[in-house]
């Protein structure tokens, strides 16, 4: 993983469903924490997996929770995110309750396209503005003689929704700026858009697998991002790359020699069939990776397949090491 990636303030992860976005988020967080960065993983109403990956038993809820050294996490829900954002604007819980208790207001809000997604994106953005030792957003006017306040989190990772939903989510700040009158909502939308469009602070990282369907969706996602969004694109992270140990050496020679022909030993034939399948899987993955190098043409980071269906801290540490360029 390029060192600049962990030096950013905000990473948005997206990709086809099932490619392992949460796994990659956990690995990036572990890699960043290993070099002293304070990290928050903000999930978007996700199924619980992250806590176990990083060694914390129990679910992660809508309250920010420490789950590993240097790593906090929150599993944002649309309702709670809207509540928290409204409190930032309205300032008082009583005002929020009086306003949002209105059936007409609730009906109006439910009819706004993308409001749920924007509430979660806005909450993730707000966490990038938090100051250490303070519950309020960073404000340049709060600077003191020793310099501006230090952010609570050096890096916020948005474990975002799947491809199409992510594009829609990231377009909302611009739509608000174009459509809404001046006010707190537009002010925050401008700040969010400024963050998203700053390549020194933000990147969209697409996660995929070395398979045809996820790779095709990756190309579509990157194309849409380049066309519709003002956001820097990080590397494409290719997850679950099969091993290549059967593509070379004596085993490959044996597979070439037998070529699927019976050896006379059923057990040996079964073993050779499995080995041939593993090698074919790797060959298919190599072809997909080669096409990704051309289209979308972004740098690729390859993460290996791990022999486990229940990833925990040990496996996440292995992936973090790969991201950091260690064997």
Q: The domain spanning residue 139 has which CATH number?
A: 3.40.50.300
Range of 121's domain? 3-82+113-323
- Residue 145 inside a domain? The answer is yes
- Residue 182 inside a domain? The answer is yes
- Residue 108 inside a domain? The answer is no
- Residue 96 inside a domain? The answer is no
User: CA 312 to CA 305: how far, in whole Å?
Assistant: 14
- Residue owning tokens 């990157």: 222
Degrees to nearest 5, angle at CA 210 with 289 and 15: 110
Question: Which residue, 126, 106, 103, 125, is CA-closest to 115?
Answer: 106
Question: Which residue, 69, 49, 70, is CA-closest to 59?
Answer: 49
Dump pLDDT digits (tens) for 106-161.
454 454 556 678 888 988 999 999 998 754 444 444 444 456 788 999 999 999 99
- Residue 132 inside a domain? The answer is yes
The DSSP element (H or E) to which 145 belongs, if any, is none
- Residue 7 inside a domain? The answer is yes
- Residue 143 inside a domain? The answer is yes
- Residue 104 inside a domain? The answer is no
Dump pLDDT digits (tens) for 16-29.
999 999 999 999 99
User: CA 191 to CA 1: how far, in whole Å?
Assistant: 28
- Whole-prediction pTM value? 0.85
Q: How many domains does the chain have?
A: 1
User: CA 144 to CA 33: how far, in whole Å?
Assistant: 28
């Amino acid at each position: 993983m390029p060192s600049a990636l962990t030096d950013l303030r905000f990473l948005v992860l997206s990709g086809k469903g099932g490619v392992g976005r949460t796994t990659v988020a956990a690995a990036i967080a572990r890699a960043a924490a290993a070099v002293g960065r304070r990290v928050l993983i903000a999930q978007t109403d996700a199924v619980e997996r992250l806590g176990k990956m990083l060694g914390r038993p129990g679910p992660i809820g809508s309250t920010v929770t420490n789950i590993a050294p240097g790593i906090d996490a929150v599993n944002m829900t649309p309702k709670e995110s809207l509540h928290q954002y409204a409190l930032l604007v309205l300032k008082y819980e009583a005002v929020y309750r009086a306003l949002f208790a209105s059936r007409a207001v609730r009906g109006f809000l439910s009819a706004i396209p993308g409001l749920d997604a924007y509430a979660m994106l806005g909450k993730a953005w707000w966490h990038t503005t938090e100051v250490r030792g303070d519950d309020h957003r960073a404000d340049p006017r709060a600077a003191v003689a020793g310099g501006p306040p230090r952010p609570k989190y050096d890096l916020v990772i948005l474990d975002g929704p799947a491809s199409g939903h992510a594009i829609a989510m990231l377009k909302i700040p611009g739509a608000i700026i174009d459509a809404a009158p001046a006010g707190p909502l537009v002010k925050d939308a401008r700040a969010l858009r400024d963050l998203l469009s700053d390549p020194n602070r933000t990147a969209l990282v697409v996660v995929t697998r070395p398979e045809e369907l996820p790779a095709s969706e990756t190309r579509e996602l990157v194309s849409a991002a380049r066309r519709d969004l003002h956001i820097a694109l990080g590397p494409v992270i290719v997850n679950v790359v099969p091993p290549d140990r059967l593509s070379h050496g004596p085993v490959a020679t044996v597979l070439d020699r037998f070529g699927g022909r019976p050896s006379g030993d059923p057990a040996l034939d079964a073993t050779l069939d499995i080995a041939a399948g593993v090698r074919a899987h790797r060959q298919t993955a190599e072809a997909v990776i080669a096409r990704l190098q051309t289209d979308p043409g972004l740098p690729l980071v390859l993460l290996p397949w791990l022999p486990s269906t229940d990833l925990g801290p040990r496996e996440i540490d292995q992936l973090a090491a790969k991201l950091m360029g260690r064997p």
